[in-house]
Amino acid sequence: MRATAAVALFLLLTAGPAAAATLVVPGDYPSIQDAVNAASNGDTIQVAAGEWVGSIDVKSLNDLTLAGKKGAVIDGAGATECLYVDGCRNVTITGFTFEDAVGDAVRVVDSTGIAISRCTVSGSGMNGLYFSSCDRVEVVGCTIRSVGASGVRADAGCERVTVEKCVVEDTTAHGIALSFEGGGVGVSHAVIQKNTVHRAGHYGIVAGGSNLLIAKNTVVNADYRGIAIDDSTNTPNALITGNTVTDSAFEGIVLHWSGSAALKNRVEGSGAADLLVRGTDHLVEGNQISGGLAEGIYVEADGCEVLKNKLAGGTLCGVRVSGVGNTLTGNAASYLLVGFIADGTGNTFEKNKAKSCKTWDLVDSTGPGGNTYVDIDKQFPHRAIAPPP
């Protein structure tokens, strides 16, 4: 008896975890929710093509894969969400179309390690994909159209959120919003790259939080601003680079806070400033800007470097500086009403060029001595160091 008990105890202690299972819908279970209810940690649920009606709740499961075959549609049928994920770890969701939710099509809360790929969202009443209090989120290769709020939204308190290679179109609010109006708390280590955003009802892309990267996105026809750092969320040292922003109703790109960089972006046709700079100590370098209705670059900031930008064909001016202690070097402005406007003091201008401007190469409204010009005759031969008559 003792030997038998010892053997049983040994087998129990040395046995590995139960093998992960693949649950097939409808082969093994008639509905997705039935399969979720039967699933254990580590399982895969495979869902056949077809329309699956009703909301799905996934709670307290780890290492779960929920995979839809081509043509698998989850129809919320007027439920609050198509898919609700709560308290999970390492969940992969791939291959589904989500339709007809009154609220968010997919809502994920208090979870970590969430990967959503190759999914389509259409027609939700609120956000397409929504995340709250989540860590390590990846949204890759998804298409989101015609939603009542934002395409992808992550609220303050999330960390390490990546949105990549997605298409977001016709949103009532923002295309992609990470910690918008975060009240000082941002989404740290966020990456927003290689997405296409068309016809956002407010911001195309807006985000806040430390270590933010916004790179290689295309934003067209945003009804407010194209790409912006959230002005309510402390966001130092953000990098906005390689983006193309076209035909925003107001500003194309907006920097806030301190120590951020706008590098090698292309901005065209904004209704207000193509690139608006606020805060302190930013770097604005190598951007190509054209065709806006106001300033190409408007520096309402202090202590910034504005270097080697090319500005052409706008209505008002190439670069306007109203802040203090900025350095402008190697910028080129052409075919504008005014090349450069200085209505702030203590700024330094060096090696800039103005060509074929309709009125002045430079207008400095601060008067003589307000700013420093290195070889001013070479930079701005046609200038007015006072407002023109």
Q: Kindly report the CA angle at 105 between 102 and 107, in degrees rounded to 5?
A: 110
Q: How far apart are CA 348 and CA 372, in angstroms?
A: 5
The pLDDT assigned to 17 comes to 53
Phi-psi domain of 183 (left: phi exceeds 0; alpha: psi -120 through 50; beta: other): left
Interatomic CA distance for residues 61 and 146, integer angstroms: 31
**Beta-bridge partner residues of 285:** 263, 307
Tokens of residue 373, six digits: 């010009």
DSSP state for residue 366 in the 8-state scheme: T
Using the structure block, give the residue that is written with the tokens 């990456």: 191
Low-confidence ranges of the chain (pLDDT < 70): 1-18, 180-185, 387-389
The two tokens of residue 389 are 């008559």
CB 227 within 8 A of CB 201: no
Sign of CA dihedral 370, 376, 380, 384: positive
Radius of gyration of the chain (CA): 26
pLDDT digits (tens, 9 = 90+) for 215-256: 999 999 999 999 999 988 888 899 999 999 999 999 999 999
Peptide bond into 26 cis (omega under 30): yes
pLDDT at 7: 44
pLDDT tens-place string over residues 97-143: 999 999 999 999 999 999 999 999 999 999 999 999 999 999 999 99
State residue 75's pLDDT score.
96
| Rounded CA separation 337/63 (Å) | 60
Is 259:235 a contact under the CB 8 Å cutoff? no
pLDDT of residue 39: 98
Q: What's residue 233's pLDDT?
A: 83
Answer for the pair 236, 209: CB distance below 8 angstroms, yes or no.
no
Give me the residues paired with residue 317 across strands. Answer: 295, 338
Q: Is the dihedral of CA 172, 84, 158, 141 positive or negative?
A: negative
As given in the structure block, the two tokens for residue 6 are 């010892």
How confident is the model at residue 252, as a pLDDT? 98
Closest C-alpha among 213, 228, 174 to residue 197: 174
CA distance linking residue 202 with residue 91, whole number of Å: 31
- Is residue 380 within 8 Å of residue 361, measured between CB atoms? yes
> What tokens appear for 350 in the block?
């060096």
Amino acid of residue 243: N
Q: How far apart are the C-alpha atoms of 96 and 91, rounded to whole Å?
A: 14
Q: Please provide the size of the chain in residues.
A: 389
In Å, how far from its chain's centre is CA 49?
32
Q: How far apart are CA 128 and CA 340, in angstroms?
A: 43
Q: Which residues contact 300 (CB under 8 A, 6 or more apart)?
A: 276, 277, 278, 322, 323
Contact (CB, 8 A) for 217 and 241: no
Q: Which pLDDT score, from 0 to 100, does residue 181 have? A: 64
Paired with 193 in beta bridges are 164, 215
